[in-house]
Amino acid sequence: MALSPSSPLAGKRLLLIIGGGIAAYKCLDLIRRLKERGMTVRTILTKGGAEFVTPLAVSGLSGEKCYTDLFSLTDETEMGHIRLSREADLVLVAPATADLMAKMAAGISDNLATTALLATDKPVMIAPSMNSQMWRHAATQRNFARLQQDGIQVIAPGQGELACGEEGPGRLAEVDDMVRALEQVFTPASAPVTKAAGGPLHGKHILITAGPTHEAIDPVRYIANRSSGKQGYAIAEALRDRGARVTLVSGPTSLTPPEGITTVPVQSALDMQAACTAALPADVAICVAAVADWRVAATESQKIKKQTGDLPVLELTENPDILKMLAQADLGRPELVVGFAAETENVAAHAQAKLKRKGCDWIVANDVTARDGESVMGGDHNQVTLLTPDGAEDWNRAPKEQVAARLADKIIEYFKKS
């Protein structure tokens, strides 16, 4: 096996708890990838997980004993659950099923996995995976919110076709995404991962959201908006070029992920919320994404058929307020939180009200009405007003790259003053 000793995972120790879901098979490839990067992987295989992968396969790939039973006298003599949980640098639960998340949120310890999770004094990360209806269920979302409040880090689930045949959020993150998330945990904030490692923002981690969100109605329809992601991507590149380590959480766009930037693709507002939480801590958060205000309360598992004279009724529910969430101190608030306000009328007044309502530090207000036949949403130019505690600055209409450069320079000024 060819090792990558230069990886930030080299020499690190992971306790991998494999939950009971069909996606458990991905953990076999994950173990192999982590071993290639020089990481030691110990495993706990739950009873449900053992229905999908075998202890022999897990131990054969990890080169370590696969632990399954809390009350095995031999294991408790040789490697107690306290040692098992504390000799790791990080604990990862993948797939984190609805059952495992519920037990973690409630503090239940009825097996080796849940007992080790209570006994550990190390950071814990989860990679949720389940049916989309289970993921959206109010109980699961309550448990998920509780785990985030408890400081659990998250690798956001993906969206697509599920093993049950339905389509929606709930897919276990791809192995590459899980590896990147683990590498990010062990990458020092000052690591030279950008094109301008010695730039004025060297050592700063900046979280950016960009693009629209797609809120599923049924397997073929969704609620969305006209955001192209161009402004958010331009800001990410401008900050990268000034030395920052950038995490870009992007809704669906046609743009190519920028080099030297950790790009996390998401679909829905719930996905984006999870990805943003997983990316913390950060020095700066910039919420450029046009997150849908609402989603359908109950997504249909089959395509809604058109019936003449019979219009479907969609019950909507409010999406999470990601900007407001990031501005809350109890979630590890970034030092500088910047929001965007896309308006079509009374731009300054609406932006000022949003600044106060969200609890962020700056608001970038932009009038998205079309000018000279070009819409701001999807277009290449923008005209904004920056609202800060020092007042309001009106910036002339300019290419989005120039707007991004000017905002990046304002952030540099902020840190010089502070």
Q: Which of 164, 276, 287, 360 is catalytic?
A: 164
Distance CA 154, CA 101 (A): 11
Please, what's the b/e burial string for 116-151 (b: 16 or more CB within 10 A of its CB; e: otherwise)?
bbeebeeebbbbbbbbbbbbbeeebeebbeebbeee
Q: Give the distance, in angstroms, between the CA of residue 24 and the centroid of all CA atoms in the same chain.
A: 20
Q: Is 35 annotated as a binding residue?
A: no
Q: Is 322 annotated as a binding residue?
A: yes
- How many Å is the Cα radius of gyration of the chain? 23
Q: Is 99 annotated as a binding residue?
A: no
Q: Label each residue of 273-338 as H, E or C.
A: HHHHHHHCCCCEEEECCECCCEEECCCCCCCCCCECCECCCCCEEECCCHHHHHCCHHHCCCCEEE
Q: HSE on the CB side for 226, CA within 13 Å?
A: 10
Q: Is 206 annotated as a binding residue?
A: no
Nearest to 340 by CA among 242, 220, 231: 231
Nearest to 285 by CA among 207, 203, 359: 207
Q: Is 354 annotated as a binding residue?
A: yes
Distance CA 244, CA 203 (A): 6
Q: Is 303 annotated as a binding residue?
A: yes
Q: What string of DSSP letters covers 155-187?
A: ---EEEE-TTS-EEEEEPPPHHHHHHHHHHHTS
Nearest to 190 by CA among 203, 175, 174: 203
CA separation, residue 14 to residues 122, 153, 321, 347, 405 (Å) = 10, 14, 33, 49, 39
Q: Is 34 annotated as a binding residue?
A: no
The DSSP call for residue 64 is: S
Q: Examine the residue annotation and report whether 164 is marked as an active-site residue of this protein.
A: yes
Q: What are φ and ψ of residue 256, in 5° steps?
A: -85, 130
Residues designated as active site: 164
Annotated binding residues for CTP, written as ranges, equal 293, 303, 320-323, 340, 354, 358
Annotated binding residues, written as ranges, equal 293, 303, 320-323, 340, 354, 358
